Amino acid sequence: MPSYSPSPGEYLNFALNSLAQAYKGLEEEEEEEEEKKEIKEQVKRLMFYTQSILLGENPFIQEKEEKEKEKANDVLKGLVEEVRALRKEVAPIKETYTERLKKDLPSLSLLPSLPLPPSIRSPSSRSSTPTRSKKKQL
């Protein structure tokens, strides 16, 4: 009786066929799992609808309100992100502006002194008796 041994190519072909069958089986299992998840979600929705109706509520209005809340939250999150981005843009400008002011302060002290209005002058430069009271005394 002659013994037959398959060639390496035949082994590889057999292995490839086995892998293809296993892959198809996994795909079918994944599809079944997805179908199961969808069915579970449908059952949950039906339970929610039934509970809402028993409580005298309209489940479709609640669903719509929840979607609107989610949209509002998304808009707020977007605004927060925009404000943060703007803040990052403005922060360096603010720093350079304050630095520029600090640099300009010494040069401002070199300017000739301007006469100050009476309200800003020091108390020693004011007369001891206000003008109004002098008029009243006359």
pLDDT 10s per residue in the chain (138 long)? 667 788 888 888 888 999 999 999 999 999 999 999 999 999 998 998 888 888 888 877 777 788 888 898 899 999 999 988 888 887 777 667 777 777 777 665 555 555 555 555 455 544 555 555 555 555
Report the alpha-carbon distance of residue 121 to residue 125 in Å, rounded. 7
User: Which two three-digit tokens encode residue 78?
Assistant: 């977007």
Give Cα 96 distance to the centre of its chain: 27
Q: Report pLDDT for 106.
A: 64
Half-sphere exposure of 62 (CA within 13 A, CB side): 12
- Look up residue 98 and give its DSSP letter: H
CA angle (67 as vertex; 63, 72 as ends), nearest 5: 145
pLDDT given at position 118: 58
Token pair listed for 99: 């630095």
Distances (CA, A) of 85 to 72, 73, 74, 81, 97: 20, 18, 17, 6, 19
